[in-house]
Structure 1
Amino acid sequence: MKKHLYEITVKHLTDNHGNPSTYTEPVKFEVQNHDDIFKVIAKSQEKSALPEESIIPFAVGLKLFGEVMLENKDNPLFAEFAPHFGDFMKKLKGKS
């Protein structure tokens, strides 16, 4: 299956006290995903029950996490959680 390729950048701006970051370099990596994350974001913005400022971080984080689970489905780390994640995704997509 061909996947979409993304570049993710995380830049630390301030610490939890509002002080400027001491990290000088952002974390940057490429990652593949079977879904078009931009379409997922758009669909989430249309029908999400979350506050507007939470929609994009939620959608991106969920798609990144979900892809790691799919790629490592036989890893015991995910054994107990995977069925619950599947149920959650069905509910989120309105299929339950």
Structure 2
Amino acid sequence: MLMSDPKVLAQALSPAKRRNLLALAPTPGAWMTIAEMKNKGATGSGMNLLYAAGFRGNRLVDGRFVKWGGEPGQKRGEGYEYTLTALGREVRDLLEEWQKA
């Protein structure tokens, strides 16, 4: 069983991790905050678990810590943003395909 096989990875995800993966923008390089993903059904703690689930070095998402609100009048804050890796996009595409079937 290859842990880089998108089908195997998609089947191994819990329902919460599936929701979180589907909440991410499919566009390469599109970063989203947990708040943005929650509007699409994601859960914050599940997102952290999805990020931590390395599947033997094959990550489905990448994360980065950011600060925002440097412009006058903007709300200031900090937190994590997530984006899909190439493997994550493949797994997400499979999940969408399965939902339609």
TM-score above 0.5: no
Give me the TM-score of the superposition, normalised by structure 1: 0.28
Report which of the two structures shows the higher radius of gyration computed on alpha carbons. Answer: 1
Q: TM-score, normalised by structure 2?
A: 0.27
